[in-house]
Structure 1
Amino acid sequence: MRWWGRLGRRMHRAALLLAVFGAVIGGLAVAGLTWWLLWWVLGAKAETPNQVELTKIALSVSAGVGGAVALVVAYRRQRDSERGRFAELFGAAARQLGDEDPAVRLAGVYAMAGVADEFSAPVRRQQCIDVLCGYLRLPYEPDDGGNHLISRAETAQESGREVERVYRIRHNDREVRATIVRVIAEHLRPYGEASWSRCDFDFTGAVLENADFEATEFRGRWTTFARARFVGDRSIDFNRARFTGHHVTFRDATFSAPIVTFDNAEFRTARTTFDGATFDSPWTSFARATFAGADTGFIGARFLGARTTWRAAEFQAERTSFERATLDGEQASFERAVFSGQRVAFTAAQLYATAVTFEEAELGAAQRLRRRVTREIDFVGAEFHGAVSFARSTIAGRTADFREGDFFGEISFVATRFTAAETHFDRPKAWVGVRFDWDDDSARKPASVRPNPWPPVPEAAPAPST
């Protein structure tokens, strides 16, 4: 590899020579421009200089060029010195993070954060953050996080024989990981001494215990919590968090702490993704959260805890999708939520919770708002089981489609305002327990609500095969 080192030194010298050459040319160009301005603007006249004056001019130009060269060399030397210092501090902090002693690892967390604060260049700061996030992505079992063991032995049967496996454990690692999360969160809050908000954060597959990201702001291009596991005995807190970068994803993440809160959170990214996420917490709340941008997705997400709420949330994204989402548990609430994008989809969603409410919600932007008119509200193939209420809600836009729905339970559209140009309930799979204002008098049904005649007739069940 000697040739590689020689090549690197040659490139370094070549870069320095180019910088010096550029400084010389730049100095001469400035001198020429200055003389031209004096001649053209101020009317300075050129006279034939004598030998002494020529010497003075030559010495002045030489001094200026020499000064420029000295500045370039000093700048390059300073930059190389900073690079070396960064490499030294970064390497020392990384070695501390890899130490077996948890106290040394804790010191490594603060050392790495200090390096990120001192070297504010985006690339260097991002390197430090990547190391901290990478630590959280390392394999970790919460049950082993607080013990003092350095290894664990397990016995298993293989081919009729007992085989003992020994697993090494980073003992007392819980506090180290909690410190990393706390340090990151502190640098993402407005009052932080040095802001890391513009950096990218990759928590893919990380295990995050009792994570507190309250009032943080993620402004980096990518913020990734894909496949992350949010666990703990207290809460997962994203209250008032702001995501304003290009893309944020919680794809396939799992939430199993007692409380998960995204209250008043703002998702103002081009794309926000909770696709495939599983919420198994007794209480999950997106109350008053705002979802803007091009896409907001909860496709295939599962809400299995006792209570889930999006009360007064605002879905402003051009496309909002709960396709194939499962809402289970005791209660799921979209009370007073506002859906104002071009397309809102609950296609094939499973509304299985004991009580699901869209009461006083606004599904679709009104026709009078021409610039924000909602083209489609899509509940095609959705399953409405249990008590589902759209009471006092507004269903607006161009088309609202409930075709092929499975209505079986206590489903209420009492006092619902159907202002969409067309609303379809054709070909339901089942039509049991559905109530409308015009149940006693179909003549009161708005002409925009179909089918005609009313009520819809469920599709005939397929004949049993013989």
Structure 2
Amino acid sequence: MLCRNPVRCAAHRDRATMQLMRWWGRLGRRLRRAALLFAVLTAVVGGLAVAGSTWWLLWLGLGAKAETPNQLDLTKIALSVTAGVGGAVALVVAYRRQRDLERGRFAELFGAAARQLGDEDPAVRLAGVYAMAGVADEFSAPVRRQQCVDVLCGYLRLPYEPDDGANHLISRAETAQESGREVERVYRLRHNDREVRRTIVRVIADHLRPYGEASWSRCDFDFTGAVLENADFEATEFAGRLTTFTGVRFVGDRAADFNRARFTGQHVTFRDAVFTAPITHFGNAEFRTARTTFDGVTFKSPQTRFDEAKFTGAHSGFIGTRFLGARTSWRAAAFQTERTSFAQATLDGEHVSFEQAVFSGQHLAFTAAQLYATTVSFEEAKLGAAPRLRFRGTRDIDFVGTEFHGAVSFARSTIAGRAADFREGDFFGEISFAGTRFTAGETDFDRPKAWVGVRFDWDDNPIAKPTSVKPNPWPPVPESAPAPAPSI
């Protein structure tokens, strides 16, 4: 079925993906719990197989003759079998006892750290952060470590207002009118919580960097709805199945920094997150996941940078994303995902740059996007790729219904692939295709909503227009414009 609403369909796909990953995680935990029994049975069966093989080789290869056992021999065999079974039972009991001791020690340390995190005293909560990190480092089993990480992420998801993060207030009273009466509500606060939260982020980030003594990179991280101040994830690696920044507010007086971060798990999502930090930095970041989602994100930072970022995998989505800061840069970014979508995205502000960016996947969509920035540059960008080796080339480039307002430049860019569709676009401003190479099988500008200020190399010589560029005759006629009178 054709998707009529890209934003809604993308949300449904994300929910289905997350449910599938959670089910897979539960299955993995069940299999890990059954691993002990499987190991013991394997050892017993393996021992019997070795004994049987040894007897068979002696009998067949070395000519050992089987003799009828007497009562003493039968007794020896019975005692040997009993000893073997007893040893296997002892092994199981010892293994389970050791496992229970480890579980008990983990529960004790984990509980103590959790109680510290819940204390009213910020100094005790700080100690709880380091205690929980120590438990995660000591117990390297994936399930145990994941529990500790979940607690730290859960703390960050608790309600928090940055304005209250550094004061000494333990409660706040608010008065409201209800049914004609004044009602006072008292809200309890975790006073001086800012440093605790920053410490959690710092501890997590340190364990995601290459120099960390114990790596947490393969854990899942769920920051849904958290408020992260001065979040510094520079040079970190998220390699877990699911990394979730859904609805996160990135605030503070310093950058929200993901410079050189690597996302190598199955799915990373920033859906509906809001960036208001002075700088949002994803420069040189690598998104090597099956699905990367920035749908519905609002970038309000004065500067947003994705310079030289690299996207690979099945899908990278910026559907409905709003870039509202003064400057947004995707300079030399590489989109190698099978499907890249900026459908219904809003590019506003003073300057948006896709200069030298490369879109080489099978599908590229800017469907119904709003290019409202004062200047938007695709100069020297490569939109689409020709077939090569096993790659069949870009199938479609979709700018259908896109609004090109302001100064938009495709100068010296390359539009390649099977087809590029600019139909029903709203071209109003200074839109330049000077020096653009149209190598796609077909590039269609038919039925524009407006056609004002658009420049091509063949404006003065329509005969020089490539035959692959439509419509014919040229130039396109806006839908609202009267049709040309037929020639007599």
Choose from 97, 110, 133 the match for 1:113. 133
User: 3-state SS of the aligned residue for 2:134?
Assistant: helix
Counterpart position of 1:302:
322
Mapped pair 1:356 → 2:376: yes
* Alignment TM-score, normalising by the size of structure 2: 0.87
**Selected match of 2:404 from 384, 394, 410:** 384
Q: What is the count of residue pairs matched by the alignment?
A: 448
Report the alpha carbon displacement of residue 19 of structure 1 after superposing the two structures with TM.
Answer: 9.9
For residue 179 of structure 1, give the secondary structure of its aligned residue in structure 2: helix
| Aligned-pair CA distance for 1:122 | 1.2
Supply the distance in 2 between the matched residues of 1:390 and 1:459 (Cα, whole angstroms). 24
Change over 3 Å in CA distance of 1:42–1:135 after alignment to 2: farther
Q: Is 1:317 equivalent to 2:325 in the alignment? A: no
CA–CA distance in structure 1, aligned partners of residues 141 and 36 of structure 2: 22
Match of 1:428 in 2: 448
Which of 78, 97, 106 in structure 2 is aligned with 1:77? Answer: 97
| d(CA) in 1 for partners of 2:423, 2:279 | 36
Give 1:127's aligned amino acid: Q
2:83 equivalent to 1:42? no
Provide the C-alpha distance between the structure 2 equivalents of 1:92 and 1:420, rounded to a whole number of angstroms: 64
Q: Structure 1 residues 108-117 or 370-379, which shifts more?
A: 370-379
Aligned-residue offset at 1:214 = 0.7
Code of the residue aligned with 2:404 in structure 1: it is F
| Aligned partners of 1:23 and 1:65 also within 8 Å | no
Instruction: Give the superposition deviation at 1:52.
Output: 4.7
Which residue of the other structure, out of 462, 471, 483, is the alignment partner of 1:442? 462
Which residue of structure 1 lines up, in the alignment, with residue 393 of structure 2?
A: 373
Aligned to 2:107: 87
In the alignment, which residue of structure 2 is the partner of 1:198?
218
Structure 1 stretch 339-348 or stretch 64-73: which is displaced more? 64-73
Task: Give 5+ residue unaligned stretches, structure 2.
Answer: 1-34, 483-488
Superposition map of 1:219-258 within 5 A = 219-258=239-278
CA drift at 1:28: 5.2
Q: What is the alpha-carbon distance in structure 2 between the residues aligned to residue 418 and residue 393 of structure 1? A: 9
Within 1, Cα distance between the matches of 2:430 and 2:474? 19
Conserved in 2, the CA contact under 8 Å of 1:428 and 1:458?
yes
Say which is worse superposed, 164-173 or 330-339, in terms of deviation. Answer: 164-173
- Runs of 5+ consecutive residues of structure 1 not aligned to the other structure: 1-14
- Distance (Å, rounded) in 2 between the aligned partners of 1:300 and 1:87: 44
1:326-354 deviations in Å (ceiling 9; x for gaps): 00000000000000011100000000000
Q: CA deviation at 1:198?
A: 1.1
Determine which of 82, 85, 94 is the counterpart of 1:62.
82
- Give the drift of 1:166: 1.1
SS at match of 1:371: coil
CA RMSD of aligned residues (A): 2.2
Q: 1:228 to 1:18 in 2, by over 3 A?
A: closer
2:228: which partner in 1?
208
- Partners in 1 of 2:274 and 2:53 — Cα distance? 65
Report the alpha carbon displacement of residue 64 of structure 1 after superposing the two structures with TM: 3.1
Residue 137 of structure 1 corresponds to 157
Q: Write the deviation string for residues 178-233 of structure 1: whole angstroms up to 9, x where unpaired.
A: 11111111111111111111111111111111111111111111111111111111
The one-letter code matched in structure 2 to 1:356 is V
Letter in 2 for 1:252: D
Identity percentage of aligned residues: 84
Contact 1:299 1:323 in 2 (8 A): yes
- SS of the residue corresponding to residue 62 of structure 1 reads helix
Q: Is the 8 A contact 1:95 1:108 kept in 2?
A: yes
Higher alpha-carbon deviation: 50-59 or 162-171: 50-59
Match of 1:338 in 2: 358
* C-alpha displacement of 1:69: 2.2
Distance (whole Å) between structure 1 residues aligned to residue 216 and residue 140 of structure 2: 9
Which of the residues 376, 390, 394 maps onto 2:414? 394
The whole-number CA distance in structure 1 between the counterparts of 2:480 and 2:465 is: 25
Which position in structure 1 is the counterpart of 2:24? none
SS at match of 1:131: helix
> Is the Cα–Cα contact under 8 Å of residues 367 and 398 in structure 1 kept in the other structure?
no
- Report Cα offsets for 1:40-72 as digits up to 9, x if no partner: 333322234555555444444433333222222
Q: Matched residues in 2 for 1:41 and 1:446: separation?
A: 82
- Cα distance in 2 for residues equivalent to 1:36 and 1:361: 71
Out of 290, 300, 304, the position equivalent to 2:310 is 290
For the Cα contact (< 8 Å) 1:351–1:382, is it kept in 2? yes
- Please state how far the C-alpha of 1:164 moved relative to its aligned partner: 1.9
Q: Which moved more, 1:453-462 or 1:398-407?
A: 453-462
Which SS does the other structure have where 1:91 is aligned?
helix
Q: TM-score, normalised by structure 1?
A: 0.91
1:188 matched to 2:231: no
Distance 1:368 1:30, change over 3 A: closer
Compute the displacement of 1:88 (Å): 1.2
**1:161 offset after TM fit, Å?**
3.1
Question: In 2, Cα distance between the equivalents of 1:112 and 1:279?
Answer: 33
Q: Which amino acid aligns with 1:247?
A: H
Query: CA separation in 2, counterparts of 1:135 and 1:44?
Result: 70
1:27–1:64 CA contact under 8 A, matched in 2: no
- C-alpha distance in structure 2 between counterparts of 1:351 and 1:298, whole Å: 14
**Counterpart mapping for 1:168-183 below 5 A:** 168-183=188-203
> Residue 268 in 1 paired to residue 288 in 2?
yes
Worse-matched range after superposition: 191-200 or 414-423: 191-200
SS in structure 2 at match of 1:93: helix
Which residue is 1:279 aligned to?
299
Residue 124 of structure 1 and its aligned partner are, at CA, apart by 1.3
Amino acid at match of 2:362: Q
CA distance in structure 2 between the partners assigned to 1:49 and 1:157 by the alignment: 97
**CA distance change for structure 1 residues 22 and 334 in 2, over 3 Å: closer, same or farther?**
closer
1:410 to 418, 430, 436: 430
C-alpha deviation, 1:39, in angstroms: 2.0
The 10-residue stretch of structure 1 (64-73 or 235-244) with the greater mean CA deviation from structure 2: 64-73
Amino acid at match of 1:162: E
Shift of 1:419: 0.5
Secondary structure of the equivalent of 2:391? helix
